[in-house]
Amino acid sequence: MRFVRESFIAATPERVFEFHEQPNVLTLLLPPWETARVIQPAKISEVGSQAIVETRVFGPITVRWVAEHTLYDPPRVFEDIQLKGPFRSWRHRHVVEPHADGALLRDEIDYEPPLGFLGRAFAPLLVERRLRKLFHYRHEVTRRWCEGQKEVV
Q: 75 is in which domain, residue-wise?
A: 2-146
What's the pLDDT at 91?
98
Note whether residue 20 is domain-resident: yes
Q: Answer whether 80's CB lies under 8 Å from 67's CB.
A: yes
Please report the pLDDT score of residue 150 as a whole number.
Answer: 56
- Rounded to two decimals, what is the model's pTM? 0.91
Span 9-62, pLDDT tens digits: 999 999 999 999 999 999 999 999 988 999 999 999 999 999 999 988 777 888
The pLDDT tens digits for 113-145 are 887 777 677 777 778 888 999 999 999 999 999
Q: Per the structure, how many domains does the chain have?
A: 1
Residue 46 lies in a domain: yes
Q: How far apart are the first and last CA of the chain?
A: 29
Give phi and psi for 59, each to the nearest 5.
55, -125
pLDDT of residue 14: 97
Alpha helices in the chain (DSSP H): 13-20, 25-28, 116-122, 127-146
Please check whether residue 137 lies inside any domain of the structure.
yes
Q: Does some domain include residue 152?
A: no
Q: Residue 119 falls within a domain, yes or no?
A: yes
Q: Is the predicted pLDDT of residue 146 greater than 60, yes or no?
A: yes
What pLDDT, on a 0 to 100 scale, did the predictor assign at position 12?
97
Is the bond leading into 75 cis (omega within 30 degrees of zero)?
yes
Phi, psi (5° rounding) for residue 39?
-85, -40
Assess if residue 151 is contained within a domain: no
**In CATH, what number is assigned to the domain containing residue 99?**
3.30.530.20
Q: What is the pLDDT of residue 153?
A: 45
Task: Determine the Cα–Cα distance for residues 131 and 45; give it in Å rounded to an integer.
Answer: 25
